[in-house]
Structure 1
Amino acid sequence: MVTMLPTHVKDLWPISRALLMQILEDRCSDRFVCERIWERLGYVEADGTWSAGPETPLDWKEAFPEGPQLIAERPASVRLTRSIPKQHKQLLKQQLQFQGYRIGELYPRRTRRATAVNWLLAWLAQLEMPLAEQGPMAPECPVPMDPVAGHPGDLPVA
């Protein structure tokens, strides 16, 4: 049985294996990562501000009337982690063969990016949508020299 797609799905940035790897490899801004999730949670953008919209789940709307900083803020990251259904918790390993970061690469920013990618994979799985191999990519950023600080413009991680 195919799940009904939310009405705003046709307007979303396409998710592909290449894009998810770009996120995992820390080659795009934290803001870009958040925007891909916000739009899938029904947040709408107006004049650079993302606010809960009519399709935003009530629990997200109440906790975060504006798009939450999923990478920078722990409460938002925790909520995102908890919102991944149990049967989809291993999609990073199953679909991307991602084995995690090495000990020297373990920073909250990167682990939260991995959570974001897993959430995006779970979102696709729940809607029974395939993961495309290629698609539009984020504006490319070099891997940050300081992975704790991230890219220019990324918010500090709390």
Structure 2
Amino acid sequence: MSKVSYYTAEGLKKLRDELNQLRDVERPKASQAIAEARDKGDLSENAEYDAAKEAQGMLEMKISKLEESLANARLIDESQLDASKALVLSTVKIKNQTNGMVMTYTLVADGEADLATGKISVNSPIGKGLLGKSVGEVADIQVPNGVMKFDILKITR
């Protein structure tokens, strides 16, 4: 049984677009590559044919995983979320108690995480540690090299 994943409208659209790209563009390309390799002669010694079949298998596996993700995807209704606590889609400003560094992260679903844009997964160590916290609280976050303490400075949507 697969677990349910929560997405924003933007994240769900991105997932659907990727699946459509694979089905409508990449799948026909893979079939064409197999057909071209098959036309080149003896299949028992045709490395190009084997590579094309392997690529098609990988593509089909990726399509299957995306279809499963979409089947278990749920759209997040932002109007139902508590704005006083750090939840999915909250933007949280935190301060590291050890070095005084201030960071701002937006908590998102796994499929939408992108550290370069400040979006971290709610299933990451920091994301898990921030969930449910309010402004003024201290989040003790277990990381590979010990426990980090963060002050929650601000929570916005």
RCO higher in structure (CA 8 A, sep ≥6): 1
TM-score, normalization by structure 2 = 0.22
TM-score, normalization by structure 1 = 0.22
Give the structure with higher Rg (CA). Answer: 2
